[in-house]
């Protein structure tokens, strides 16, 4: 949406467009987002970046924006470059991460942002992938996993390989964003969305394929009880949140316990491995829809910090999960509980 101005001052035949900005917010301020939801924003909790988007029909060529006169990093881009980033990445978190990265580099001429982006993309392709962090290496080795490395600035547009599978995560995020929630919990909802949006762009199509396959299997099963598929995604520390995706054939106590128990074990194992509990571990469960026009119902669960559970309790949960998986995979069943274990990412058992 184009903004004509924060305020218009009209006096006789003269007029002024008033732009009054203050982005140094140290105290908490109530702010309303585009969905009409009000949250408390505490400025000191964020790493700030100033982005100036210029909407100009004929921008000057060869213009190099001057350095920012403040300690807050800044970047100046054209509107078409702003739209290029969102079209290419289709992720708010990825766009902001790129802008933070670009603002810390050398300035480029106004309108040259796509060229800089592609230079970063090529550099990412040529870079040596980060290894699996030693702290989580034992988790990766615990069960069959697949380790995946993705570029921070993908060369190909998001979803270029298959749009439907790629957009799966976006649909889940929309479900989460539209969930009715008390006003005092709006900040938690934004945190959950941000963590979901932290999943690397180049990994989303593969995850979408897997979840679609899980949904089809859960929909077609005729087995007794509840068929549960799961996918675990574990990042190197500091990259994004560890995640657990569960798809169940029905919304039942078994399905709820599957999400709850597995997420508790994942949160405990990951936090213990990295020696840090102050992070979010995110769980998403998809079940058959309860309303016409929907493809599935979405439920989420998040854990943050030390849950205070003794190791004996975690081991009991682990044993229950293993027993359920072995029972589901036993001969005579028409389905299989897929409990892919942590790695940087993990594929389902075949």
Each residue of 111-123: pLDDT tens digit?
999 999 999 999 9
User: For 180-194, 201-215, 285-299, which range has the lowest pLDDT when averaged over its residues?
Assistant: 180-194
Tell me, what's the pLDDT at 209?
A: 95
Query: What's the mean pLDDT in 116-140?
Result: 95
Q: Are strands 38-42 and 243-248 parallel, antiparallel or unpaired?
A: unpaired
Q: How confident is the model at residue 2 (pLDDT cuts 50, 70, 90)?
A: low
Count of residues making up the chain? 350
User: For 12-16, 142-146, 285-289, which range has the lowest pLDDT when averaged over its residues?
Assistant: 12-16
Query: What's the mean pLDDT in 77-87?
Result: 94
Residue 312 CB burial class (10 angstroms; 0-12, 13-18, ≥19): exposed
Report in angstroms the alpha-carbon separations of 23 from 29, 141, 321.
11, 46, 48
Compute the distance between CA of residue 130 and CA of residue 239 in angstroms, rounded to an integer: 11
In the 8-state DSSP scheme, what is residue 62? T
Compute the distance between CA of residue 87 and CA of residue 66 in angstroms, rounded to an integer: 27
| Annotated domain spans of the chain | 25-126, 137-339
Query: What's the mean pLDDT in 267-295?
Result: 94
User: What's the number of CA atoms in the CB half-sphere (13 Å) around residue 167?
Assistant: 6
Query: What's the mean pLDDT in 282-288?
Result: 96
**Conformation bin of residue 290: beta by default, left when phi > 0, alpha when psi is -120 to 50:** alpha
pLDDT at 24 over 70: no
In the 8-state DSSP scheme, what is residue 13? T
* pLDDT: which is higher, 38 or 4: 38
- Nearest CA among 28, 33, 22, 21 for reference residue 43: 28
Tell me, what's the pLDDT at 333?
A: 46
Tell me, what's the pLDDT at 45?
A: 84
**pLDDT tens for each residue of 155-186:** 999 999 899 999 999 999 999 999 888 888 88
Tell me, what's the pLDDT at 223?
A: 81
pLDDT at 296 over 80: yes
Query: What's the mean pLDDT in 68-75?
Result: 85
User: What's the number of CA atoms in the CB half-sphere (13 Å) around residue 183?
Assistant: 9
pLDDT at 346 over 60: no
**pLDDT tens for each residue of 51-61:** 888 988 899 89
Query: What's the mean pLDDT in 185-190?
Result: 88
> Going by C-beta distance under 8 Å and a sequence separation of 6 or more, which residues neighbour residue 314?
264, 265, 268, 269
Q: Are strands 28-32 and 50-54 parallel, antiparallel or unpaired?
A: unpaired
- Nearest CA among 128, 113, 140, 10 for reference residue 54: 113
Q: Is the separation of the CB atoms in 247 and 214 below 8 Å? A: yes
Tell me, what's the pLDDT at 19?
A: 66
Q: Is the separation of the CB atoms in 348 and 340 below 8 Å? A: yes
Token pair of 118 as six digits: 């592609």
**pLDDT tens for each residue of 216-271:** 999 998 888 899 999 999 999 999 999 999 999 999 999 999 999 999 999 999 99
Token pair of 35 as six digits: 């969905």
Report in angstroms the alpha-carbon separations of 145 from 141, 318, 339.
8, 18, 11
Task: Calculate the average pLDDT of the chain.
Answer: 87
Q: Is the separation of the CB atoms in 216 and 340 below 8 Å? A: no
Compute the distance between CA of residue 282 and CA of residue 303 in angstroms, rounded to an integer: 7
Q: How confident is the model at residue 275 (pLDDT cuts 50, 70, 90)?
A: very high
pLDDT at 332 over 70: no
Query: What's the mean pLDDT in 65-84?
Result: 90
Tell me, what's the pLDDT at 117?
A: 97
């Amino acid at each position: 949406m184009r903004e004509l101005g924060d305020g218009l001052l009209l006096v006789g035949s003269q007029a002024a467009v008033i732009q009054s900005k203050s982005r140094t917010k140290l105290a908490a301020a109530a702010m309303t987002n585009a969905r009409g939801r009000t949250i408390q924003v505490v400025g000191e909790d964020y790493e700030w970046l100033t982005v100036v988007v210029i909407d100009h029909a004929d921008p000057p060529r060869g213009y190099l924006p001057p350095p920012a006169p403040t300690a807050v990093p800044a970047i100046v881009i054209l509107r078409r470059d702003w739209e290029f980033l969102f079209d290419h990445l289709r992720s708010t978190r990825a766009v902001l991460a790129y802008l933070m990265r670009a603002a810390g580099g050398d300035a480029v001429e106004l309108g040259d942002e796509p060229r800089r982006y592609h230079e970063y993309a090529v550099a990412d392709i040529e870079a040596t992938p980060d290894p699996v962090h030693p702290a989580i290496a034992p988790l990766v080795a615990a069960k069959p996993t697949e380790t995946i490395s993705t570029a921070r600035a993908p060369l190909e547009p998001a979803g270029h390989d298959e749009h439907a599978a790629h957009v799966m995560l976006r649909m889940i995020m929309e479900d989460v964003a539209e969930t009715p929630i008390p006003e005092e919990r709006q900040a938690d909802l934004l945190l959950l969305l941000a963590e979901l949006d932290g999943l690397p762009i180049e990994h989303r199509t593969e995850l979408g394929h897997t979840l679609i396959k899980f949904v089809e299997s859960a929909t077609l099963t005729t087995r007794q009880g509840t068929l549960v598929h799961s996918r675990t995604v574990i990042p190197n520390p500091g990259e994004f949140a560890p995640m657990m995706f569960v798809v169940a054939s029905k919304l039942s106590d078994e399905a709820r316990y599957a999400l709850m128990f597995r997420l508790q074990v994942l949160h405990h194992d990951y936090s213990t491995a990295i020696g840090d509990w102050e992070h979010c571990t995110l769980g998403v469960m998809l079940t058959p829809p309860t309303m016409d026009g929907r493809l599935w119902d979405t439920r989420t669960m998040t854990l943050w910090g030390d849950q205070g559970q003794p190791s004996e309790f975690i081991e009991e949960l682990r044993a229950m999960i293993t027993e359920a998986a072995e029972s589901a995979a036993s001969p005579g069943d028409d389905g299989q509980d897929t409990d892919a274990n942590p790695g940087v990412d993990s594929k389902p058992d075949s």
